[in-house]
Amino acid sequence: METTTALTADVLVVGFGKGGKTAAHALTDAAKRVILIEQSENMYGGTCPNVGCVPTKMLVHYANSRRLEDDAQEFFANSTAGVRALTSTFRAGNFEALDGKDTATVITGAASFVDPHTVAVGEGRDRITVTAPTILINTGSEPIVPAIPGLADSPHLISSTELTRTANLPERLVVLGGGYLGLEFAAIYQRFGTHVTVLEAADRLLLREDEDIAEVATEILAGDGIRIITGAKITEVRDDGAVSTIMYEKDGQTHTVEASALLPATGRKPVTADLRLDAAGVRTTPTGAIEVDEYLRSSQPHIYALGDVNGGEQFTYISLDDARIVLDQLMGEGKRTTADRTAVPHTLFITPPLATVGMTETRARAQGLNIKVSREKVADIIAMPRAYTVEETRGVMKFIVDADTDLILGAALLSIDAQEIINTVALAIRHNITATELRDSIYTHPSSTEAFNEVFDKVIS
C-alpha cells in the first residue's frame, strides 16, 4: 500500500534561488515554519553560486592569470577543479545555513502542485506533500536551445552549466549569440586558449548599448582573438566525428565554421513546465513565466514568484530585491513594489568589464531631451593612473547628463573596475546627485573612481 508523508508549513518555498533562500532565512528568523523544496542537490543556493555568477567570474579570474608558458589543457583543468571546490563549499554552506535552523527544512526533489495550497514531491512510498497558506516560487530559468536543424541532437552541443563543470578545454568553441552570456564565455575561453567564434544574427553586438560603446567592446574582443561574425543566420548543424559544421548565411552567401563545442547563448526560459501550475490555478505567459503584479503576486494572491521565473530581468540582484518586496508583503507594510526600482546597473564581465546604468545617448536623443555627453578613452584619462598600474588601459567611459539640471541620466563604463564604479553612478542617479558633485568629490588615489574628476569635463556634445 502506498503511503504519503503529509507536512505543513507557514511558508513553502519552491526553488533554492537567491530570492527564495533570502526570504526563507528572514521568515525562519521571524519564527515562521518554512519548508524549502529544491529539485537538485547540485543547486542548493541557486544558479549564481553553482552554475552562474560565481563559477563564471572565477573562470574570468583564472583565465586572466594564465601565462604564455602554461599548458592550456592542464591550466584549464586545474582552474575548473578550483571552481568545483568553491561551488561545492558554497552549496554545502547554503544547505546547512538553512536546513540547520530549527524552523526550516530542506527537501530535495521535483515539486508539482496538487492544488493551490499543496505541493507534492516524489512518488510511491517516498511521496511527500507539503501544504502551506503562503507559497513562494523561485525555480529560476534554463537555457533555450534554438530550433536549428541538427543542433539539439549534436553530440558537441554544450550548455553554459556543462562548460563550467567540464575539465576538458574545447579546441574550437562556437558561441551562438552575442549577448551577455555568449560574450562572457567567448572572452573566458579565448583567454584559456580555445579558438572562439561568435555568430550573431544582428548587424552588430550589444544592440541595447550606443553604437560607439558597442564598437569599442567589439574591437577589444576581436583584438583578443575572438572571431566575431555579425549578420549571421544559422541554417544547419552537421556532425562529422570530432567536429560539428555550422552552416550560416551572411550577405546572401552560405558559409561554414567548425566547432568541437557548440554553446547556444540565445536566451533563457523560466523553469515552470513540470510544476503543474494549472492545478494551482496560476496563470503563465506564452514564454512560461508566471504572471505577477507589482507586488510579485501571481493570479493566486497567496502564491508569489521571485527571480527569473516571473519573467523579469534575469539577474541575481533582481531576485534579491524580489525577496525584499515579498517580505514587505508578508511581514512589513506591503508598500514596496517593482515600480520602486530605478537606475538598476548591469555588468558584462568581459575584460575589461562593461557596466551600464540608466539611459543611453540614443534613447535620450530619441526622447528629445536636452543632454550633454561626456566621453573619454580610458588610456587618455590622466586622473585614472589605476588603469596603468594594472596594465589595462583599454576601454572608454561615457556619461549622459541632463544639460538643464546637471543630473546624470545614464552611463556606460568599459574599463577596469567598471563593475564597482557603476554602483556609485547608480546611487548618484537614485539620489539626484549632480555630475558636478561627482566631478568635484574627493576619491582615494590611485583608484578608478577618481576618473570622475576628469571625465565629466570631457563634453563631446
Q: What are phi and psi of 365, to 5 degrees?
A: -70, -35
Residue 72, all three cell numbers: 592550456
Let me know if 431 is a catalytic residue.
no
* Known binding residues for NAD(+): 177-184, 200, 267
* Known binding residues for FAD: 57, 139-141, 308
Q: What are phi and psi of 281, to 5 degrees?
A: 75, 30
Distance CA 154, CA 157 (A): 5
> For 66, how many CA atoms within 13 A lie in the half-sphere containing its CB?
24
Q: Do the Cβ atoms of 47 and 349 come closer than 8 Å?
A: no
List of long-range contacts for 274-278, beta carbons under 8 Å, 24+ apart? 274/110, 274/112, 275/14, 275/111, 275/112, 275/113, 275/137, 275/139, 276/112, 276/113, 276/114, 277/113
Q: Which of 25, 61, 302, 445 is catalytic?
A: 445
* Known binding residues: 57, 139-141, 177-184, 200, 267, 308
304 bridge partner residues: 136, 297
In one-letter notation, the amino acid at residue 188 is: I
The single residue listed with the C-alpha cell 573562470 is 59
Q: What positions carry a catalytic annotation?
A: 445
